[in-house]
Amino acid sequence: MFDTILVSFGIRFGAFFLVQGLLVAICVEIIASIFKFRARQLSKGIGELLNDPQFRGIAGELYAHAAINPRGPGVGVSRRNGPSYIDPPLFADALMDLTGISQQIANAVGRAAEPSETRPTLAALNGAVTVKCKQINNPQLEILLTGIVNRSFGEVDKIRTYLSSWFDAAMDRVSGAYKRWTQLFVYVVALILAIGLNLDAITIFKLLWTQTYVTEQSKSSQTERQYHQEFFSILTNQLPQRAGTKVRPSRRILRLREFSTNAIQSRSAGHMGSYWMTRGVRLTGANS
C-alpha cells in the first residue's frame, strides 16, 4: 500500500508543477507577442549584421524587400511590425538583389550565345558589389561579399549557399540572446505567479501527501470491510442446517463480527488478514 501512496503522490505533485510550468510558459509567450520581442531581436541582429543599426541603409532596403517582409508596404521601414523569422535562402536572394549580383547574372544570361556562357564574370560581380558598398559606405560588407564571389567562382548556387550559411551563423547569436532574455522573463513571471497565487511548495507537498494518504487508507478500509462481509457470508453458509429450519449465526459469530467491525478502524489490512486466518480455522466447524 505504501508503494501505491508514493506513486499516487508523485503523479499529483508532478502534475502540479507541470501545470505551473505551462502557465508560466503561456504568460511569457503572451508578453513576447504583445511587445513583438522576437521581431525586435531579429531586426536588431540584422542591423548589427549589416552594420546598419538605424536601418537607414542596406538594412532598411532589406526590410522593404518583398522576400523579407511580404506584408510590408515596400516603402519606409517598420521594425516593430517586421517579420519574426527570415528564411536563410530568402535572405541570400534579397541580398543578392540589393547588391546587384542578381542583375549581373541576368545580364550574363542575356549576352550568352551558348548555355555554357551564362555564368557572369568575377570582375562584373565584384564591380557590382563594390559600387553598392561604396554607396552605403560599408567596407566590411564589401570584403565579405567579394570574398564569397571569388571563392564560389561566380556560381550562383554557391554564392547563395555561402550567404545562407553566413546568415545562419549570425542568427545563432541572436537566438542565444533571445534565450537569455526569455529565461529572465520566465524567472520574473514565475516569481510573480508564486507570490500572487501564494504557491508554497512545502505547504502543497504536505497537503498532497495528507490527501493521498487519507484516500489510500479509505480505499483500504473499504476493501477490508468488503472482505469481512464476504468472510461472514461464507462462514454462515458453511453452518450445518436442519430441514425446515432457518439458520442463525451463533453468539460467538455475532461477537466476532462486532469485534471485527470495531477493529477495522484501528488495524491494517495485513494484520486483520492474518487475524482472520487464525480465527477462521477455529470457526469453520462452528455450529449454531
Cα-Cα-Cα-Cα dihedral sign, residues 220, 222, 225, 230:
negative
pTM of the model: 0.62
Compute how many other C-beta atoms are within 10 angstroms of the C-beta atom of residue 178: 19
Residue 146 lies in a domain: yes
Residue 227 lies in a domain: no
- Cβ pair 161, 17 in contact under 8 A: no
Residue 10 lies in a domain: no
Residue 211 lies in a domain: no
189 CB-near residues (< 8 Å, 6+ apart): 24, 27, 28, 31
Residue 129 lies in a domain: yes
Residue 263 lies in a domain: no
Residue 170 lies in a domain: yes
Q: Which residue, 122, 145, 149, 121, is CA-closest to 132?
A: 145
- Cβ pair 185, 24 in contact under 8 A: no
User: If DSSP codes are grouped into helix, strand and coil, which group holds residue 230?
Assistant: helix
Domain that holds residue 82: 37-192
DSSP-assigned letter for residue 100: T
Residue 276 lies in a domain: no
Compute how many other C-beta atoms are within 10 angstroms of the C-beta atom of residue 259: 11
51 CB-near residues (< 8 Å, 6+ apart): 138, 140, 141
CA distance 121 to 20: 61
What is the number of domains present in the chain?
1
Per-residue pLDDT of the chain (288 residues; tens, 9 = 90+): 445 667 777 777 778 788 888 889 898 889 888 888 888 889 899 999 999 988 888 998 998 898 888 877 776 666 667 888 899 999 999 999 999 998 888 888 766 555 555 677 888 899 999 999 999 999 999 999 999 999 988 888 999 999 999 999 999 888 888 888 888 888 898 888 888 877 777 777 777 777 766 666 556 555 656 655 665 565 555 444 444 555 455 555 555 556 556 555 554 444 444 444 444 444 444 444
Q: Which residue, 88, 86, 80, 87, is CA-closest to 33?
A: 80
Task: Give residue for cell 531581436.
Answer: 41
CA distance 164 to 158: 10
